[in-house]
Amino acid sequence: MALDPTTDTVALTEALVDIESVSLNEQPIADAIEVALRPFAHLEVIRIGNSLVARTNLARGERVVIAGHVDTVPVHDNLPCRNDGTLLHGLGTCDMKGGVAVALNLAATVPEPNRDVTYVFYEAEEIAAVHNGLRKIAEVRPELLSADFAILMEPSEAAIEAGCQGTLRVDVVARGERAHSARAWRGVNAIHQAAEILRRLNEYDARRPVIDGLEYHEGLNAVLINGGVAANVLPDEVVVTVNYRFAPDRSEEEALDFVRTFFDGFEVTVTDSAPGAMPGLDLPAAKAFVATVGGDVKPKFGWTDVARFTGLGIPAVNFGPGDPSLAHKQEEHVPIAQIRQCEQTLRAWLAAS
Amino acid sequence: MALDPTTDTVALTEALVDIESVSLNEQPIADAIEVALRPFAHLEVIRIGNSLVARTNLARGERVVIAGHVDTVPVHDNLPCRNDGTLLHGLGTCDMKGGVAVALNLAATVPEPNRDVTYVFYEAEEIAAVHNGLRKIAEVRPELLSADFAILMEPSEAAIEAGCQGTLRVDVVARGERAHSARAWRGVNAIHQAAEILRRLNEYDARRPVIDGLEYHEGLNAVLINGGVAANVLPDEVVVTVNYRFAPDRSEEEALDFVRTFFDGFEVTVTDSAPGAMPGLDLPAAKAFVATVGGDVKPKFGWTDVARFTGLGIPAVNFGPGDPSLAHKQEEHVPIAQIRQCEQTLRAWLAAS
């Protein structure tokens, strides 16, 4: 299906949603976006895998990235898109084709922005980081991402969410010694040993540091617990998978130190780790954007590719239509008004003299 | 392979072990036992499924059951039987073809016992109770099991183990409310709620009642624990499977009452329940057997079909070769001396005037 990037952003969102693009199956949507952008002489279009970079080259004194991923989580009986007049319903409406539609429309219809813009439409954000399109661009053509500021159009209810919390996942293991449950005194029950792990979790007091005026909110939670051999055997091992969400004033190393100390006496194995991102609202490009958008800036609790930009030395914020808590839900939807609001805000910002 | 039931009990054990008889595949071993016993005029032989009953009918004033199951747990690279001169190694050596060999040999070689004997060789003890051969006989031909006393030749190191503890299995459920782990304060973590279940288990103080001079030892143990939705989601449910082993002075109902009170405030669902069996050592037939065997009588902690006989109103004990803690282990084995000791003890008891 051909996309018209100059059309209304709501119609464009619907068209993007109807091109199914579950992670690792982004070729059709990448083809459609590439075909839609190639005709515009004001854009340099580069394709890397199933990701696209479209850049203005106006030699402005400042360059900003406006980025969104084009993939979705798996289909769950929630396609095609449905428009009820107020909301668009369906897979990817919220996470994040509403934001992608806004970026695509601006790319096509703002030929002479007041700052150079690098639009990035990238693949494979919803799966393991090794596939991530933004990461691949940063590896093979890092100069393409060079910028003073980045706006990631992840859902944030059309408000600015700055920074993001890091995430660390560890397996905490309690051990025992097997025995038949009819003669329990001959063994050591690993599940009973795990009581201490859970006791400590219940006593955890969450840090809520204020950074650049934003209050973050950490969390330390058991997300999975598994143990047991058979219904008549005392188990010798229980694994409690714990997820630590940490404010961006802590490094990954500091986060791990905290968790190791917290679970002192138990085996702790890291299974996943990603750094947070400082809000960086004191940097000039960020300040200017905040002033244009107005309203309250909120901290980002979840992890997004904002942290990837921060890692590249580029201050970045989330700013996109949709409620982030609806992401990955079967019933995800996006308010039409928020799509229009994001479009108008960014258009005004890119047009201001 | 033809069995000679009059041969040495150790050779007979080896022959029985080499007839593979994993539960639900007992036809070959049942056929072999039937063929072996049919020639003996002093025995009435009845086949029910893959179980066999062989009875003397001498109109003695007393009748005893000598019983053993012929099935095993699955093969685990532990066949055929291996004789190292002291031990027989292999699947079923301990649980419980040593005992079956003794019973089979006595059936063939003691034509005029001092008390009538009902030998029972039954199928499907190692799997769900619905398949149990002893249970089937009790259902379709209960008169065949009528007796004053029963000896179950389960491994007990050639000593008498009397009574058995009951077993109750319940699922104890802790509930919460799902939330993304980046915004944990919006949910209730079910795993953290389960801390209280484990805390109570750690405070459990095991009853050790003395019954007929035997000290039992109860146990309350989590055997399985499972909870979790995904690595970034606060789980809304954790199931802790708890096994209560209770002394035979408690009924199944009393056991369940205890567990419900113990886990007050949590959902408790019964998934398995079997009553204990009182030792019954004050009954005349049991007293006579204990006097003949001599030595210490021990309490039986694990559950065996002794409880099934008790349910039928027949006092019963375990008395067989082998260490019960080796049952179901790949390396199970039985001391040759214990096979001979059990055979000699029972032969003397059946011959005494």
Residue range A73-80: mean pLDDT, rounded: 93
The shortest C-alpha distance from B166 to chain A (Å) reads 9
Q: What pLDDT score was predicted for residue B260?
A: 98
pLDDT tens, residue by residue, B151-196:
999 999 999 999 899 999 999 999 999 888 998 998 999 999 999 9
Written as one letter, the residue type at A211 is I
Supply the pLDDT for residue A1: 66
Give the pLDDT of residue B127: 85
Does B241 sit within 8 Å of A302, measured CB to CB? no
Q: Are A234 and B221 in contact (CB under 8 A)?
A: yes
Are residues A222 and B183, on separate chains, in Cβ contact within 8 Å? no
Residue spans of alpha helices (H) in A40-148: 98-109, 133-140
Contact, A297 vs A290, CB < 8 A? yes
CB within 8 Å of A2: residues ≥ 6 apart: A32, A35, A36
Selecting from A189, A206, A245 the residue whose C-beta is nearest the C-beta of B221 gives A189
Residue A308 half-sphere exposure toward CB, CA atoms < 13 A: 23
> Which of A202, A217, A226 has the CB atom closest to B195's CB atom?
A202
Q: Write the DSSP assignment of A203-243 as a string of letters.
A: H------EETTEE---EEEEEEEEEES-TTEE-SEEEEEEE
The backbone region for A222, taken as left when phi is positive above 0, alpha when psi lies in -120 to 50, beta otherwise, is: beta
Least confident of A152-156, A254-258, B226-230, B240-244: B226-230
Residue A179 pLDDT > 80: yes
A199 to chain B, closest Cα gap in Å: 6
Contact criterion met (CB < 8 Å) for B182 and A303: yes
Q: Do B241 and A228 touch (CB under 8 A)?
A: yes
Asked if pLDDT for residue B148 goes beyond 80, the answer is: yes
Total CB pairs under 8 A between chain A and B? 158
Q: List, in sequence order, every beta strand (DSSP E) within B25-148.
A: 44-48, 51-55, 63-69, 82-83, 87-89, 116-122
A215 given a catalytic annotation: no
Are A191 and B223 inside 8 Å of each other by CB?
yes
Q: Which amino acid belongs to residue A213? A: G
Determine whether the interchain pair A241/B228 forms a contact, defined as Cβ–Cβ distance below 8 Å. Answer: yes
Contact state of A223 with B229 under an 8 Å Cβ cutoff:
yes
- CA-based nearest distance A182→chain B, Å: 5
**pTM score:** 0.83
Q: Give the CB-side neighbour count of residue A228, counting CA atoms within 13 A.
A: 17
Residue that wins the pLDDT comparison between A19 and A330: A19
Dist CA B94 CA B153 (whole Å): 10
To the nearest whole Å, the CA of A62 is away from the closest chain B CA by 33
B203 exposure class (CB count in 10 Å sphere: 0-12, 13-18, 19+): exposed
- Give me the pLDDT at residue B229, please: 86
Complex ipTM: 0.82
Q: Which of A26, A71, A148, A154 is catalytic?
A: A71
Closest chain A CA to residue B192: A198
pLDDT tens-digit series, residues B58-110: 999 999 999 999 999 999 999 999 999 999 999 999 999 999 999 999 999 99
- As a whole number of angstroms, the distance between CA B36 and CA B33 comes to 5
pLDDT at position A349 is 93
What digits encode the pLDDT tens for the residues A269-313? 999 999 999 988 888 888 889 988 887 899 999 888 999 999 898
- Supply the mean pLDDT for chain A: 95
Is the predicted pLDDT of residue A28 greater than 70, yes or no?
yes
Q: What is the pLDDT of residue A283?
A: 83
What integer is the mean pLDDT of B214-239? 94
A224 to chain B: nearest residue by CA?
B228
Closest by Cβ to B192, choosing from A192, A198, A227: A198
Q: Which residues of A touch B221 (CB under 8 A)?
A: 181, 184, 189, 191-192, 234
The answer, yes or no, to whether residue B1 has pLDDT greater than 70, is no
Residues of A in contact with B325 (CB under 8 A): 180, 183, 186
> Residue A81: pLDDT above 90?
yes
Q: Which of B167, B223, B259 to mutate to test the interface with A (most CBs of A within 10 A)?
A: B223
**B148: which 2 tokens?**
């004053």
Average pLDDT, chain B: 95
Looking at residue A2, its amino acid is A
pLDDT for res B117: 98
Percent of chain A beyond pLDDT 70? 100
> For this structure, is A125 an active site residue?
yes
pLDDT band for position A86 (cuts 50, 70, 90)? very high
Over residues B27-53, the mean pLDDT reads: 98
Least CA distance to B235: which residue of chain A? A223
